[in-house]
Amino acid sequence: MTTNALPHQGLPTPTALAGKSVALVHEWFSATGGSEQVYLRMAEVVPHARRFVLWKEHDVAEGGEDMQESWMSRTPLRRSKALALPVMPLTWRTLTRERYDVVISSSHAFAHTVKLGDSLGTRYLSYVHSPARYVWSPELDQRGAQALLAPMRRVLQASDRRLSRHVHSYAANSREVQGRIRRYWGREARVINPPVDVDYFADAPEAVKQQGRGYLLGVGRWISYKRFDLMLEIAAEVRLPLVLAGSGPEEAALRRRAERLDVPVTFEIRPTNERLRELYWGALCLLYPGHEDFGMIPVEAQACGTPVVGLARGGLLETVEDGQTGYLVDGFEPSAYAARVRRVAELSTETVLANAQRFSVSAFQSSLASWIADNA
């Protein structure tokens, strides 16, 4: 059997996997996503696992060389996640005829329903970033909220439950997702927070650390539920410059709105990690008013001593200490966020930095290895 492995990082492979064949599966793989970062860190814990994805984007280089793509990658479906969605459960059942002793999935759509070859005796473990938001939580992700999609959502929900009964153990990336797994699938899950490279972001050059903090910062993919439109309103309310770092389909609309403001707005398109670190260290605070499953970006910001002003829902309830490492607002009123932005200077940079260390790569990999050892 061919082995897909990342360079071993000196981590002990869980004893429960010794001598066993292992498959590690993920949804589609792009170059920039947080779930992809998690998948690569999982692969370091199980370096001998063979790695499967539905498809990988053409710009993927590091970490993507040895991934086996599904048959879907050879069809036009790879260009439209919406059209591919109903076919994904079938794809996860026709991926390969090879049998594995242990199958570990990294799932934010239907990867947790995977079955490989003759599954008699196979142990299935699933690390869940979220049950598919556009199927189960359309109120959080407008891409699936159209009324015309309601019948399709009901069909996919029934399939999701039925096709995942074989999973032996779930892990959730947050208490928020743990609750969704219990609510939607009727299953329990162990919480294992995602890995954030906090050491990289904290260990910036001294010149970067000493720059002034003179602007508000928004980071992420420019799509509706991330609420970059609200960030613009907050910046206008406090009359401070705003930097938006990322990319996405709402870029043109955001630029048009920004032109109408009396404060400067800078767009940083797909910044490198080095540039992103500079932006974090130069920001007065990170604005994060969206409802996230976990949210690695607020942890990266805190690793740079940058407090977070965000929504008091979802993952931020776990990553931000309200009144200590940032401020949480229960709602979407710009003035409420503006009031907290005006108070961020009261927060201790050292406290903000220390909080981020709870979400290190080593903490994640240790917890992941323990979960695998308990269930494989």
Model confidence over 196-227: pLDDT tens digits? Answer: 999 999 999 999 999 999 999 999 999 998 99
CATH of the domain at 355: 3.40.50.2000
The domain containing residue 328 runs over which residues? 198-359
Going edge to edge, which strands form the sheet with 189-191?
Answer: 68-69, 50-53, 22-26, 102-107, 123-128, 169-172, 189-191
What confidence score (pLDDT) does residue 134 get? 83
* Average of per-residue pLDDT values in the chain: 91
Indicate if the pLDDT at residue 359 is higher than 50: yes
Instruction: Specify the pTM.
Output: 0.89
Angle subtended by helix axes 296-303 and 273-282, to nearest 10: 70
Query: Per-residue pLDDT for 238 more than 80?
Result: yes
Confidence of residue 8 (pLDDT cuts 50, 70, 90): very low
Task: Verify that 57 and 127 share a domain, yes or no.
Answer: yes
Count of domains forming the chain: 2
Residue 326: its H or E element: strand 326-329
CA distance linking residue 71 with residue 69, whole number of Å: 7
Q: Is residue 8 part of a domain?
A: no
For residue 246, the model assigns a pLDDT of 95
pLDDT digit string (tens) for 241-298? 999 999 999 999 999 999 999 999 999 999 999 999 999 999 999 999 999 999 999 9
The 10s digit of each residue's pLDDT in 52-76 is 999 988 665 555 568 999 999 999 9
With a pLDDT cut of 70, the percent of the chain lying above it is 91
- Residue 23 inside a domain? The answer is yes
Q: Is the pLDDT of residue 11 over 60?
A: no
End-to-end Cα, the chain, rounded Å: 20
CB-count burial class (<10 Å; 0-12, 13-18, 19+) for 8: exposed
Indicate if the pLDDT at residue 6 is higher than 60: no
Q: Both tokens of residue 142?
A: 């407008």
What's the pLDDT at 147?
61
Tokens coding 129: 């970033």
Whole-number Å distance between alpha carbons of 64 and 5:
10
Q: Report if residue 249 sits inside a domain.
A: yes
DSSP state at residue 13: P
Alpha-carbon gap, residue 140 to 119, rounded angstroms: 35
Could you tell me if 355 and 365 lie in one domain? Answer: no
